Amino acid sequence: MSEVTMDKIVSLCRRRGFIFQSSEIYGGLNGAYDYGPLGVQLKNNIRDLWWKEMTQLHDNIVGLDASILMHSRVWEASGHVSNFTDPMVDCKQCKSRFRADQIDLNAPCPVCGNRGTFTAPRNFNLMFATHIGADVDAASTIYLRPETAQGIYVDFKNVVSSSRVKVPFGITQVGKSFRNEITTKNFIFRSCEFEQMEMQWFCKPGTDEQWFPYWREQRMNFYVNKLGIHPEHLRWHQHGPDELAFYAKDAYDIQFLFPMGWQELEGVHSRTDYDLTQHQKFSGKDMTYLDPETNEKYIPYVVETSAGLTRNVLMALSDAYDEEQVEEGDVRTVLHFHPLVAPVTVAVLPLVKKDGLAEYASKLEHELRDEFVTFYDQSAAIGRRYRRQDEIGTPYCVTVDYDTLTDNTVTLRFRDSMEQVRVPVSELVATIKKATKEYKRV
């Protein structure tokens, strides 16, 4: 095992087309990133595994895709307009801006080194404001959503009346959120535009105390068993009294050991009836639930599981990254992705281009496309092509050689062990699927 640094991850991501700085040819835009050909596939794979886990594999969970632009009253009700702020200071000398809670106000400015040049701290709202319609005035101000949760709360009654769901049930949503972070850092960990994967679980008041530990266990299991993350890189952090929102009953974060240290990956929070009650107050609409069996009327309690999809991508990359000594003086860079997470599942490689091997391999690659994300590569020596696939985390390489032409068998190479086995082409799909099912993280 080698040390995983953020520089190594950033460099690999750029070199191999996982993640680029946004608007790079114009000098880049801070806190914004583009997902390249491999990055978008990696992100989609994680999103799809999460969606399947949180809807298909659970009872009573339905999906939603709410609009990014919402009525500005939503954010008054949620408290974001008045409270979603960071204390900011500016250096009067060099005009640099800092979060007051992240620097020592008595120390010299970290940028220009002058002393006593900071302005008094003032609150800065993290929501991106824009205007809807032709008039640019206070009445037309709306916000890019800073979280996806509120879209679920405001549609709570619509879902209940249209989907025959009964409490307890959940609503899932994956989507982009926006925060005007002044200090963006650690690559995609804290960016202005990011993606969330959230589930809000509506339950009868009192039963939240059973559901809260249930969902904590479910969510930790997902990372270990479905995404194949090292259990020793994951831990729980319970919010102390100073971190807990005033309405929250209890809150835990799943933290991951990122290259810069332990940081939040997902929050599992017991939010009581706070959000629905606020929306009832601000909208004047009835947000209660009528139990069809007992005729009890109440505002449900909410347990939320709120994960960062873009943080999941950074986690998958850092957890998978390794530089391994293969032979004396020979080091390979490898991403040990779970096969279901890897952006390319199978690479098909002809040993040489000539004598019909390339044609055979290309045809085979086309046939595999229906089952797997595939990649065809016929350039350079076979050893170099294996290394190129190791570096992007492709779990299986299939090599077509001269024997293939006579007996229809191929070499199947496994990324982690570098073991090679001979497999009949007719059994290739089944063999790869079996290996994926039985995959154990090294």
- Residues facing residue 375 across a β-bridge: 347
**Rounded least distance, CB 105 to Zn ion, Å:** 12
User: Coil, strand or helix: which one is 114?
Assistant: coil
What's the closest the beta carbon of residue 118 comes to Zn ion, in angstroms?
8
Q: If binding is defined by CB under 5 A, does position 109 make contact with Zn ion?
A: yes
**Stretch in the footprint of Zn ion (CB under 5 A) among 87-95, 279-287, 356-364, 384-392:** 87-95
Count of chain residues binding Zn ion (CB under 5 A): 6
Looking at the Cβ atoms of 94 and 132, the one nearer to Zn ion is: 94
Q: Which is nearer to Zn ion, 111 or 405 (CB)?
A: 111
**Mutual orientation of helices 309-320 and 6-16 as an angle, nearest 10°?**
100
How far does Cα 153 stand from its chain's mean position? 22
- Residue whose CB is less far from Zn ion, 113 or 292: 113
Rounded to 5 degrees, φ, ψ at 118 are -80, 140
DSSP string, 182-233: SS-BTGGGB-SEEEEEEEEEEE-TTTHHHHHHHHHHHHHHIIIIIS---GGG
Residue span binding Zn ion (CB under 5 A) among the ranges 109-117, 163-171, 391-399, 426-434: 109-117
37 or 116: CB nearest Zn ion:
116
Looking at beta carbons only, is 117 or 180 nearer to Zn ion?
Answer: 117
Quick one: which of 74, 81, 91, 197 contacts Zn ion (CB under 5 A)?
Answer: 91
What's the token pair of residue 365?
Answer: 């690659």
Nearer to Zn ion, 44 or 93 (CB): 93
Which of residues 66 and 91 has its CB atom nearest to Zn ion in the complex?
A: 91
Least Å distance, CB 119 to Zn ion, is 11
What is the DSSP pairing of strand 374-376 with strand 346-350?
A: parallel
Min CB(93)–Zn ion separation in Å: 5
- Contact call for residue 93 and Zn ion (CB under 5 A): yes
Nearest approach, Cβ of residue 110 and Zn ion (Å): 8
Nearer to Zn ion, 98 or 396 (CB): 98
Helix H segments across 101-201? 149-154, 156-163
112 binds Zn ion (CB under 5 A): yes
**Contact status: 57 vs Zn ion (CB under 5 A):** no
At closest approach, how far in Å is the CB of 98 from Zn ion? Answer: 9
- Closer of 114 and 420 to Zn ion (Cβ): 114
Beta-sheet pairing, 234-238 with 250-258: antiparallel
Token digits for 310? 């873009």
Contact at 8 Å (CB) between 316 and 190?
no
Q: Decide if residue 428 touches Zn ion (CB under 5 A).
A: no
Piece in contact with Zn ion (CB under 5 A), picked from 101-109, 216-224, 353-361, 395-403: 101-109
Give the position of tokens 């991106």.
128
User: What type of residue is 245?
Assistant: A
Helix (H) or strand (E) holding 430: helix 428-437
Q: Does 111 bind Zn ion (CB under 5 A)?
A: yes
Rounded CA-CA distance 138/362 in Å is: 60
**C-alpha to C-alpha distances, 377 to 349, 387, 389, 403, 432, nearest whole angstrom:** 5, 12, 10, 19, 19
Region near Zn ion per CB under 5 A, out of 89-97, 119-127, 400-408, 430-438: 89-97
Residue 105 in contact with Zn ion, rule: CB under 5 A? no
Q: In angstroms, what is the minimal distance from the CB of 126 to Zn ion?
A: 23
For 157, phi then psi, to 5°, come to -70, -40
Write the CA distances from 58 to 54, 214, 215, 411, integer angstroms: 6, 12, 11, 39
Q: Select 60 or 93, whichever has its Cβ closest to Zn ion.
A: 93
For the chain, the 3-state helix, strand and coil shares in percent, each to the nearest 5, are 35, 30, 35
94 is a contact residue toward Zn ion (CB under 5 A)? yes
Contact 287, 161 (CB under 8 A): no
Q: Which stretch binds Zn ion (CB under 5 A): 38-46, 108-116, 229-237, 393-401?
A: 108-116
- For Zn ion, which stretch binds (CB under 5 A), given 103-111, 231-239, 252-260, 406-414? 103-111
Residue owning tokens 């986690």? 315
Give contact residues for Zn ion (rule: CB under 5 A).
Answer: 91, 93-94, 109, 111-112
